[in-house]
Chains A and B, each alone.
Chain A
Amino acid sequence: MEDREIVELYWERSETAISETKKKYERYCYSIAYHILYNREDSEECVNDTYIRAWNAIPPHRPGRLSVFLGKITRNLAIDCYEKIRTIKRGKGQAELILDELQECIPFSDNTEKITEDIVLKDALDAFLSILPQETRKLFVRRYWYASSIKEIAKDFRISESKVKMQLLRTRNQLRVFLEKEGIEI
């Protein structure tokens, strides 16, 4: 079923919307959650919650790209879930690694009170991504949006794992410099 037809089902308040969403995007959403949580039960719960969130959001929302819309919900739910469980046990998935890597992107600051608003940070990230070469951007987004492992990225981009690591390292450094220049405080 086409995405626009599924979205129509949501607008008609037909419960078929959920089953069609599940049929088409369950694996996709599960993959996003699992990369972050590395736990089957938690990932399944995030995916099931994704359907509920989508049901509550459409209408009034009418997503242009249903896959991305659902993926965002799953991603946010998985990160929230990760935050809850990380104090209990250390995750085995990509989350710990990604957070360690992103620590390198935090601009140096001695001003802890001035925190940039979410919307400004989002615009800065978009601006940064827009100036990257397409392949570099795709690789960076695969790592930090989809939480794909270095191995998976290397395989899909058909480059060595060491090149993926090197490219990510350079891009993270560029991001830190960019955020510092923009005066972004996180």
Chain B
Amino acid sequence: MKNIRLWKSFSDIDESYIEEAAPPEQRRIKIIGNKNAGKWGILAASFALAIIVGGELIHRGEISQNDVQYADRIWPVKEVPAPNGQEEIAPERKWEELTISEQYGQFEFRKSSYSTRVSEVKREHIGDFLENIVLESYDEAGIPYTKSAAVFEIKGISEECAVAVQFQGTDQYYAYVNVDYRAENLGDFIGDLNLKENIQFGSVWYHWQSPEGDYSRIEFVDLEDDMVWEILLEDTTISQVEDTEEMMLIDIMSISLDIPILGYENIGLGITEDGYLATNILDTGKVFYIGEEKAQEFVDYVLQNCTGYEIVYITDMEVKE
């Protein structure tokens, strides 16, 4: 097979290319070996004061904050434990180890495909009964299984977006979302998901490039929800962008958000420089064009009014020292 030969040939490429492309968890191993090097790589090298302060922080090995000055920007440093990379590659579990909503991960309902959120929906959020269905699935050996279940509305949320499923013989209700859902416009999207009630905004994340060319991740923590609604979500008439497959969406800022009723935690609402609003609510990309002016207005609002911290990840070893 020619493609396998080509794939294998990559094994012997120049080692420096392999090293420079290493995933974050591997790059963090390097930081353990040379703690200051990792920190200095993030900070702007020309600011001696910042480097010394940062070095002391790591030496103390505690989560703390300190001012770092970049040209005309000043953001305190917030050191946070690095996420555990192993979590991203959880081993495959066997059929009997899965919860029932994981075993039956998706089903077709009224000509749309619904996927499990795994999360439970509280009984008080369950609306009208919609239909009885039979879900089909396969275990790792390819053995087929079926399970009867009842589909219910989730109060306030359109069945075109999400439904709750109660499997026969159980008391729980599980959230399933329609990954094919498309809104006519932003207003429908907000209304169908009852986002005014269901969404919770968190931090704003900003990818800032210093004059020296280094990238830093800045977290702004005191975003006012009203400003998101006023600046980004005000014009409810704008249409959802039809074809996003070939789009280059590069966020300048993104807002983390939760939708607890559907089990979403820390997903995103991104704002691009060229005026697009993009989100992965309902598991697939949804894009709306709000215009460059609105995008810039939001960026200006955040930079001028919110409290920012430069995020620096440190390893467990650095925390313990």
Interface residues of A (CB under 8 A from B): 2-3, 24, 27-28, 30-31, 34-35, 38-40, 43, 64-65, 67-68, 71-72, 75-76, 79, 83, 92, 98-100, 102-103, 105-106, 118, 121-122, 125-126, 129-130, 134, 137-142, 144-146, 148, 152, 156, 158-163, 166, 186
B38 to chain A, nearest CB (A): 15
List, sorted by A's number, 24 A–B pairs whose CB atoms are closer than 8 Å.
A27-B25, A28-B25, A31-B23, A31-B89, A72-B11, A76-B11, A83-B4, A92-B92, A99-B7, A106-B3, A106-B6, A118-B9, A121-B5, A122-B13, A125-B9, A126-B17, A137-B20, A141-B10, A141-B20, A145-B10, A160-B248, A162-B244, A163-B248, A186-B2
B25 to chain A, nearest CB (A): 7
- Of residues 1 to 33 in B, which have CB atoms within 8 Å of A's CB atoms? 1-15, 17-26, 29, 33
**B13: A residues at CB distance < 8 A:** 122, 125-126, 129, 141, 145
B interface residues, tally (CB under 8 Å): 45
B252 to chain A, nearest CB (A): 11
**B25: A residues at CB distance < 8 A:** 27-28, 31
Q: Apart from A39-B92, A145-B18, A160-B278, what 14 extra A-B contacts exist at CB < 8 Å?
A: A27-B25, A27-B86, A28-B25, A31-B86, A65-B18, A76-B11, A79-B8, A103-B2, A118-B9, A126-B13, A129-B13, A130-B14, A141-B18, A186-B5
CA A118 – CA B12 in complex, angstroms? 9
Known contacts being A31-B23, A31-B25, A152-B88, is A122 close to B3, with CB within 8 Å? no
Q: Which of A30, A102, A129 contacts B7 (CB 8 A)?
A: A102
**A140: B residues at CB distance < 8 A:** 21
CA A98 – CA B3 in complex, angstroms? 9
Chain A residue nearest to B12 in the complex (CB)? A122
Interface residues of B (CB under 8 A from A): 1-15, 17-26, 29, 33, 85-86, 88-89, 91-92, 207, 244-251, 270, 278, 285
CA A73 – CA B89 in complex, angstroms? 20
A87 to chain B, nearest CB (A): 11
The reply to whether A71 and B18 form a contact with Cβ atoms under 8 Å apart is yes
CA A28 – CA B3 in complex, angstroms? 25
Known contacts being A137-B17, A138-B21, is A162 close to B6, with CB within 8 Å? no
Known contacts being A39-B92, A65-B15, is A146 close to B23, with CB within 8 Å? yes
Q: Which of B21, B29, B249, B278 contacts A141 (CB 8 A)?
A: B21
**B19: A residues at CB distance < 8 A:** 65, 67-68
Q: Which of B4, B5, B10, B250 contacts A163 (CB 8 A)?
A: B250
The reply to whether A76 and B3 form a contact with Cβ atoms under 8 Å apart is no
B172 to chain A, nearest CB (A): 27
A105 to chain B, nearest CB (A): 6
Known contacts being A145-B21, A160-B250, is A126 close to B86, with CB within 8 Å? no
Q: Which of B22, B24, B92, B270 contacts A40 (CB 8 A)?
A: B92
**B17: A residues at CB distance < 8 A:** 126, 129, 137, 141, 145
**A43: B residues at CB distance < 8 A:** 91
**A67: B residues at CB distance < 8 A:** 19, 22, 26, 29
Q: Which of B8, B92, B245 contacts A76 (CB 8 A)?
A: B8
Chain A residue nearest to B33 in the complex (CB)? A2
The reply to whether A162 and B246 form a contact with Cβ atoms under 8 Å apart is yes
Chain B residue nearest to A156 in the complex (CB)? B24
Chain B residue nearest to A152 in the complex (CB)? B88
**B285: A residues at CB distance < 8 A:** 160-162
CA A134 – CA B10 in complex, angstroms? 17
B16 to chain A, nearest CB (A): 9
CA A92 – CA B140 in complex, angstroms? 11
**A3: B residues at CB distance < 8 A:** 33
**B11: A residues at CB distance < 8 A:** 72, 75-76, 79, 145
Q: Which of A39, A122, A156, A166 contacts B248 (CB 8 A)?
A: A166
